[in-house]
Structure 1
Amino acid sequence: MNNNQINLNYIGFLSVVAAIGGFLFGYDTAVISGTIAQVTTQYGLDNVSQGWYVGCALVGSILGVTCGGYLGDRFGRRKMLFISAVLFSVSAVYCMLSSDFQQLIYARIIGGIGIGVVSIISPMYISELAVPQYRGRLVSLYQLAVTIGFLGAYIVNYLLMQYAIGDAQNLQGEWLRLIFYQEVWRGMLGISGLPAVFFFLIIFFIPESPRWLVMHGRSAKAQDIFRRIYGSDSAARTELNKIQDASSAEKKVDWKLLAQPGVRKAVWIGAAIALLGQFMGVNAVLYYGPTIFESSGISGGDSLFYQVIVGLVNVLTTVLAVFIIDKIGRKKLVYLGVSGMIAFLLLIGIYFFWGKVLGLPSLFMLSCFLAYVFCCAISISAVIWVLLSEMYPNSIRGLAMSIAGLSLWLGTYLVGQLTPWLLDNLSPGGTFFLFAAMCVPYMLIVWKLVPETTGRSLEDIERHWIH
């Protein structure tokens, strides 16, 4: 196929629109880090209640990911993107206007359902319309959007806090003073409603996934989309024939395919790496970064600023990953990145245990933190959603991704709930040593059980598992 005929501008536009869901995912996930101290003080939360405040959105994510893939297989990827946009919008307004802690929990759960749905549907949608030679970097746009959402949340948290300390006291109007001065966490949580509404509106300008259309017997419409992607009728027909040959033009989800040994193995592998990846420290950094920084002796205001730096490194590293993932390959990135994660997690643990004895400055800990974020962003964070979006057969891709995504969000929920307990009982140093140990089985699974998918079509990968 002539690469010059491929309409990269159109594919890029569709991918960026779907990736906006990743931005909302990232913002909604990371914004919590700047509100924990305020909400804890206002409502008098203990460690368990604090963990529930952080983890309740993850309960919603588990609900969303459990049904999102199946509903995406049945009703279409585009409709599910619409639903996630509505959930994000409702959650943002509800968080901002909640009258008590219980309502705040309900609002966070609604947003969590949106996170769960979009975490499955957005990368799957991009994967199904991308051409093989660019699929890695296009799906990585989703992860890039997630990291931009993280950074956006950290910046908003920092700026709103500075505004609340300074000029916000001069605001007129009861609600404005409440949201941006007296209880600034409301503004932090509520501001995501603006990109959520934009996401809802722009989805009207993208088509349904062509592979989903083929699976539901709408081949003519799918061919029209492929024609716009590949630039010619002959190339569109060739791609359509490949999909039909691989799937026998199934018109509904084939649940029996999950019982095939190769497919079952792929689902178990995906679930294992999704679960283990959450116990390697990344979510502790996202949710409890300011708390961890403060425990190292950094003041509260500086800790929020350093969290912005963490977010910036995350974004810039993910930009690099977008450009190299299709050149270096998924597995090599994991080997390089996870090796670095182990090294810097151990150094962070050493700092907390023996930093004062060795005379290590807080700058040492911050440098190790940033190096760890770099290694994580260029490897497991960039690779996981790419792998999950391309590992499974077309007819059960949504269902299989829901199973893997459920494992991921269960792991995320457990980390969110357990991190305050781990920091108290294992100490920060022991917690980071534990995260380093969890990197080892992840690396072994990728090495021994995961095939290299770089440059292969989705149908070729499907044949690998089935045959």
Structure 2
Amino acid sequence: MSNQERKNPRNYKSFLQLIMISATFGGLLFGYDTGVINGALPFMERPDQLHLTPVTEGLVTSSLLLGAAFGALACGKLADRYGRRKMILNLSFLFLLASLGTTFAPNVSIMVVFRFLLGLAVGGASSMVPAFLAEMAPHEQRGRMVTMNEFMIVGGQLLAYVFNAILGVTMADTGHVWRYMLFICAIPALALFVSMLVVPESPRWLAAKGKKNEALRVLKQIRDEKRAQTEFNEIEAAVQKDSELEKASIKDFAAPWLRRVLLIGIGVAMVNQITGVNSIMYYGTQILEESGFGTKAALIANIANGLVSVIAVVFGIWMVGKVNRRPMLIIGLSGTTTALLLIAIFSKVLEGSATLPYVVLSLTVLFLAFMQACVGPVTWLVIAEIFPQRLRGLGAGISVFFLWIVNFIIGFTFPILLSSVGLSTTFFIFVVLGILGIGFVYKWMPETNGRTLEDIEEHFRSQYDQGNTNKSMMKAQ
């Protein structure tokens, strides 16, 4: 045993792995809760169950997304005040409560209320978990650790699709089979709570609250001793700089360089959603039914969407440490937009054909390969990276709020569009939005790969200072 291992009996790499797995149960819940509705809706629509129309179908689906928007916004601020770990623990309890509420909901109104509460937990986890992991990870592992949350999200969606298919096929004649689908997500909620009990608080948050000894102690658990001290000194310097400023609030983003950071965060978050990814994740079964599959066949075929998402995210996690964020996102958006264009074209050209459902399935798989390998991992990673320490929780919360608002709009309107204008026109709309997203990333998103969180902050500050200097020189001339 080395001297370092004697000083630190818990191997810091193993402990980092434990922290990553524990926190990302929040991502698993995020994935399952958003994916399970895909298979539950066809059974909830039945006259002897909730008797959903296209409007109430959109409402049941999107109520979670509206809750997620407010959950992301509120939890970011609360996490800055009370700590990342404590907020994730509280969210696990809300996941459990709301999961049981949706399982036993007797009507649409009660279902919408508990789906909204479930959304608060999903939104909170979507902003808290990546920020928490970004603060715990060494900078060279930050990409892999933060994007592991994306793996757990798509893993949760795959589990939802698998359980939906198993229950939907074996219990198709049982009208309330959708209740079993919804109940299963109570299990990872318990796992999240139990596993987070052994996870320490973020050392950056502890240092920001003046708990410097505790911050250094946590760093020594997750770094070798020499690096822990060096990183602690960097964090302490950043905290000292922040302490000279007032308490974090939305007013802080009035500073031009911070406003730019916030707009980039919001823009990247919105670009993630205007791809139309969640039209496929929430309504994949209905899309496949619309193209020609029966309900049971659609449930089984939809597993392919979940499976390719998991494989693609594994590839994306490997790639994110080797490829710069900006080109990776542009490549991903180009691929998703092309896939959607092909779905729109073939839905018109092959309408009524026996081959159409298989073509649509193949293209949704292609879409998700680009989405989950490139767009998804980079989105959450950039949002977790670009904000300065003092504003990270608030900034990430605001960005993810906009992500969920766009998600809500798409989730609510998609079944209405599908029933009124059809599959082809609906996807042509997403193609136009995808092109706009590519333009935004190309023009505005900076590169963050290979920099510490403190370096990224300094980059934005200095870029603004340099811009001011150039303006002053031009005026002088």
TM range (shorter): over 0.9
The answer for the alignment partner of 2:467 in structure 1 is: none
1:139-180 Cα deviation digits (max 9, x unpaired): 0000000000000110111111223148xxxxxxxxxxxxxx
The answer for the alignment partner of 2:394 in structure 1 is: 399
The 8 Å contact of residues 214 and 249 in structure 1, kept in 2 or not, is answered as: no
The 8 Å contact of residues 55 and 417 in structure 1, kept in 2 or not, is answered as: yes
What letter matches 2:32 in structure 1?
Answer: Y
The 1-side partners of 2:446 and 2:361 are apart by 35
Distance 1:46 1:165, change over 3 A: closer
The 2-side partners of 1:165 and 1:393 are apart by 51
**Counterpart pick for 1:47 among 28, 34, 54:** 54
SS at match of 1:35: helix
The 8 Å contact of residues 146 and 381 in structure 2, kept in 1 or not, is answered as: yes
**Bigger mean CA offset, 276-285 vs 398-407:** 276-285
Distance 1:98 1:219, change over 3 A: same
The 2-side partners of 1:287 and 1:214 are apart by 40
Asked if 1:10 is matched to 2:3, the reply is no
**Counterpart pick for 2:433 among 432, 438, 447:** 438
1:72-124 Cα deviation digits (max 9, x unpaired): 00000001101110011001111222232222222211111100111111000
The 1-side partners of 2:58 and 2:142 are apart by 37
Asked if 1:186 is matched to 2:191, the reply is no
Deviation at 1:9? 2.1
1:206-238 Cα deviation digits (max 9, x unpaired): 000111001111111111111122211x32121
1:337-394 Cα deviation digits (max 9, x unpaired): 1111121111111111111499854322221111111011111111111000001000
Distance 1:361 1:53, change over 3 A: closer
Within-5 A mapping of 1:161-180: 161-165=168-172
Asked if 1:455 is matched to 2:450, the reply is yes
The answer for the alignment partner of 1:321 in structure 2 is: 316
The 1-side partners of 2:417 and 2:99 are apart by 30
The answer for the alignment partner of 1:257 in structure 2 is: 252
**Bigger mean CA offset, 18-27 vs 254-263:** 254-263
The answer for the alignment partner of 1:348 in structure 2 is: 343
Matched-pair identity in %: 31
The 8 Å contact of residues 89 and 193 in structure 1, kept in 2 or not, is answered as: yes
The 2-side partners of 1:406 and 1:143 are apart by 18
**Counterpart pick for 1:273 among 268, 275, 278:** 268
The answer for the alignment partner of 2:460 in structure 1 is: 465
The answer for the alignment partner of 2:465 in structure 1 is: none
The 1-side partners of 2:116 and 2:123 are apart by 10
**Counterpart pick for 1:246 among 235, 238, 244:** 238
Deviation at 1:57? 1.0
**Bigger mean CA offset, 55-64 vs 384-393:** 55-64
- Structure 2 stretches lacking a partner, 5+ long: 463-477
The 2-side partners of 1:137 and 1:157 are apart by 30
The TM-score, its normalising length taken from structure 2, stands at 0.91
The 8 Å contact of residues 59 and 412 in structure 2, kept in 1 or not, is answered as: yes
Distance 1:133 1:301, change over 3 A: same
The 2-side partners of 1:266 and 1:333 are apart by 20
The 8 Å contact of residues 393 and 462 in structure 1, kept in 2 or not, is answered as: yes
The 2-side partners of 1:258 and 1:237 are apart by 31
Within-5 A mapping of 1:227-238: 227-232=220-225, 234-238=226-230
**Bigger mean CA offset, 216-225 vs 439-448:** 439-448
The answer for the alignment partner of 2:112 in structure 1 is: 105
1:174-203 Cα deviation digits (max 9, x unpaired): xxxxxxx34011110111111111111111
1:37-70 Cα deviation digits (max 9, x unpaired): 2212222222221111111111211221120100
Distance 1:34 1:147, change over 3 A: same
SS at match of 2:322: helix
The 8 Å contact of residues 292 and 352 in structure 2, kept in 1 or not, is answered as: no
Q: Which runs of 4+ in 1 moved over 4 A?
A: 249-252, 356-361
